[in-house]
Amino acid sequence: MTGQTIGNAVAVRDNGPGALVAAHRADIELVMPSHMQARVGAWIRTTQGLLRRDEKLLEAAQNDVGQFMSVLLDAARLGLEPGTEQYHLVPRWNKKKRCTEITGVRGYQGEIELMYRAGAVSSVIVEVVRQRDGFKYRPGRDERPEHDIDWDLSLEERGDLRIAYAYAVMKDGATSKVVVLNKGHIAKARAKSDSANGKYPHLSPWNTDEEAMWLKTAAHRLTKWVPTSAEYIREQLRAKAEVDAEQQPAPFPAGPLPQPFDSSEPDDEAIEAEFVDDETGEVRS
């Protein structure tokens, strides 16, 4: 282990950003979805491991630990793993501060995970089309794209990326809107990326894994048409509960219960009255 590596390990363990992550375990666990809370320890160790392995990442985290924790809390709130295809941690140059800081970039697997977690879809398809692939989709006529791949060809033989597309199959079997993006769409998305155009573009996932970012861009566009929040499930359950309540018979009004019928009592009771004899005018009881 080199002196610099040892120094990085100490910074992570003793008083650096890695130690700060461990110290804020309760805050991280608090914002995490319930299904992730049992794994919070592994989640923190994974994040600390990223800092040990990547000197640029550690330096950016040390420059602004508040920004670093904000990014981590965002990943935790979404229930995504930092430093994976779910959620990238990328150093970004801040012109005002004149230093690098950490920014978070959702990966395509993170976008897909959020769609599945919302509970509205049974499957999500996100693919890229290369130059020698066959691709056909006619909006309004085709329910889903036709994508033909010659699996005997390597990625290089299949050619450059030319299209990314995404769609979801909903729980009721219907197909969501189909998103199709060409090179122009992808170029516009890349131009808006801080990480791709900052001081360290070589660290951006746009340059380290271009195909993944094409997939992410298509998946992100699909989120406009497919629920990505657990709030969807709660709304569906609430609506179902309201419909079920409307279909239930009205409850019997509160008050004294009716007396049971007793066949031993006479059907009619005598009623006292006075009768007037029309001829004599005499009143008789």
In this structure, the chain runs to a length of: 285
CA distances from 184 to 92, 163, 191, 219, 221 (A): 25, 10, 11, 16, 14
pLDDT band at 188 (very low <50, low <70, confident <90, very high): very high
Q: Tokens 């699909």 appear where? A: 222
**Per-residue pLDDT tens for 128-162?**
999 999 999 999 999 999 999 999 999 999 999 99
**Measured distance CA(199)–CA(202) in Å, rounded:** 9
Name the DSSP class of 11.
I
Express as a percent the part of the chain with pLDDT over 70.
72
C-beta of residue 195 within 8 angstroms of C-beta of residue 80: no
Q: Quote the percentage of the chain above a pLDDT of 90.
A: 57
pTM over 0.85: no
Show the tokens assigned to 150: 């010659």
In this structure, is the dihedral angle defined by the CA atoms of residues 244, 246, 249 and 251, taken in order, positive or negative?
positive
pLDDT tens-place string over residues 74-87: 999 999 999 888 99
Task: Reduce the DSSP state of residue 179 to 3 states and report it.
Answer: strand
Tokens of 169: 């199959």
Contact 222, 115 (CB under 8 A): yes
